[in-house]
């Protein structure tokens, strides 16, 4: 019997190369963005465990568990892979069960994973995961509550909150924040996020890389809103385009909207620190409440209606500018 091995970062260069090669061939995307994590650069923010089976040096299957250090009750699973010629031998189930059991034993409460495969979904369902509404994501609850009950309780976070610079500490906590059903149609134009009430969200562990892409090269930044207990309740972004315009956006849970203005102010203050003299935002025409919120912090409408793409979805929107930078 082949035993399941597990390793935590830092991962050796040899094994990292083999894992990246397998994952890139399977998912047809680059894993260079994982370099820092695999080298141990996130050990203070996230606990990562790589589970794998190998025989005579060849990796047969993998699973990657990430647990938030700031909210250890939350976890995410990714990189569930079985080499094609070894499929239908229960390898994926075995590594996922191991990750699931370790998560539960470590005190976890909600474990997320994404899949678009009906066949894989049936396997995960047998292992305890349940599909979320409005997303190609499944959640395993270690308690007796349903996903709906979990989100009802989770989005009811109360108490004071504060704004801080965004980091990889948000990698897992942003999953329930984004997947919760929000009233606003578009959550953030800068990173292409919309509410699961209106369009299916196809990403899970792929959500944080959108923010990583935003901040590359120093042309973007993001901010987090957290309760005093460390729960992530909001996110905002800022990015400078090639014309020197800083675009800002952001969202929170409804019960945490009191901190939204601080998130937006942090975003456009970052833009001001970059030396820009124009700060703008896009708001979906349907999101009248969001428009009013932006107007309260000093934005005004400059372009009444246009078509703006969000993940290949053309959305009627309006453009607003920050009044301090008004020209």
Mind listing the pLDDT tens digit for each residue in 7-51? Answer: 999 999 999 999 999 999 999 999 988 999 999 999 999 999 999
pLDDT band (50, 70, 90) for residue 327: very low
Q: Where are the domains of the chain?
A: 5-146, 161-325
> Under CATH, what is the fold of the domain 161-325?
Aminopeptidase (3.40.630)
Residue from 220, 248, 225 nearest 235 by CA: 225
5-146: what CATH class? alpha beta
Structure-model confidence comparison of residues 256 and 56, the more confident one? 256
**323/89 Cα distance (integer angstroms):** 62
Burial of 105 (C-beta count, 10 Å sphere; 0-12/13-18/19+): exposed
- Give residue-wise pLDDT tens across range 167-207: 999 999 999 999 999 999 999 999 999 999 999 999 999 99
Q: For residue 249, what are the contacts with CB-CB under 8 A and spacing of at least 6? A: 186, 187, 188, 189, 190, 236, 237, 267, 281, 282
Backbone angles phi, psi at 2, to 5 degrees: -85, 125
Report how far apart, in Å, the C-alpha atoms of 83 and of each of 12, 26, 30, 37, 233 are: 21, 8, 18, 23, 38
Alpha-carbon span 153 to 253, nearest angstrom: 12
Asked if domains 5-146 and 161-325 share a fold, the reply is: yes
> What pLDDT, on the 0 to 100 scale, is given for residue 217?
84
Measured distance CA(108)–CA(232) in Å, rounded: 16
Angle of helix 91-105 relative to helix 118-126, nearest 10 degrees, comes to: 50
How high does pLDDT run on average in the chain?
A: 93
Residue 1 has a pLDDT of 54
Rounded-to-integer distance, Cα 173 and Cα 229, Å:
13
pLDDT for res 158: 72
Compute φ and ψ for 175, nearest 5 degrees: -65, -55
pLDDT for residue 307: 65
Q: Mean of the pLDDT values across residues 303-314?
A: 69
- Does residue 236 carry a pLDDT above 90? yes
pLDDT digits (tens, 9 = 90+) for 91-109: 999 999 999 999 999 999 9
pLDDT of residue 312: 67
Whether the per-residue pLDDT at 278 is higher than 90: the answer is yes
């Amino acid at each position: 019997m082949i035993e399941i091995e597990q390793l935590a970062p830092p991962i050796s260069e040899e094994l990292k190369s083999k894992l990246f090669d397998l994952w890139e061939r399977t998912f047809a995307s680059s894993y260079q963005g994982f370099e820092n994590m695999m080298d141990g650069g996130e050990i203070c923010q996230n606990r990562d465990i790589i589970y794998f089976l190998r025989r005579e040096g060849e990796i047969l299957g993998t699973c990657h568990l990430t647990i938030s250090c700031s909210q250890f009750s939350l976890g995410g699973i990714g990189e569930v892979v079985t080499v094609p010629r070894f499929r239908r031998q229960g390898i994926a189930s075995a590594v996922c069960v191991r990750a699931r059991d370790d998560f539960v034993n470590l005190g976890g409460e909600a474990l997320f994973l994404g899949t678009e495969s009906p066949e894989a979904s049936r396997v995960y369902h047998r292992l305890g995961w349940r599909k979320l509404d409005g997303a190609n994501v499944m959640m395993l609850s270690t308690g007796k509550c349903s996903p709906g009950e979990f989100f009802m309780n989770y989005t009811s976070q109360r108490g004071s909150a504060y704004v801080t610079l965004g980091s990889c500490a948000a990698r897992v906590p942003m999953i329930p924040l984004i997947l919760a059903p929000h009233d606003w149609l578009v959550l953030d134009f800068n990173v292409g996020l919309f509410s699961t009430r209106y369009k299916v969200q196809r990403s899970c562990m792929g959500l944080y890389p959108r923010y990583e892409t935003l901040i590359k090269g120093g042309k973007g930044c993001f901010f987090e809103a957290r309760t005093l207990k460390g729960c992530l309740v909001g996110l905002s972004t800022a990015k400078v385009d090639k014309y020197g315009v800083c675009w800002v956006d952001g969202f929170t849970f409804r019960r945490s909207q009191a901190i939204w203005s601080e998130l937006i102010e942090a975003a456009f203050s970052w833009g001001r620190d970059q030396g820009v003299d124009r700060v703008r935002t896009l708001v979906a025409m349907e999101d009248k409440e969001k428009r009013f919120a932006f107007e309260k912090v000093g934005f005004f409408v400059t372009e009444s209606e246009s078509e703006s793409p969000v993940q290949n979805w053309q959305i009627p929107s309006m453009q607003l500018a920050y009044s301090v930078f008004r020209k």
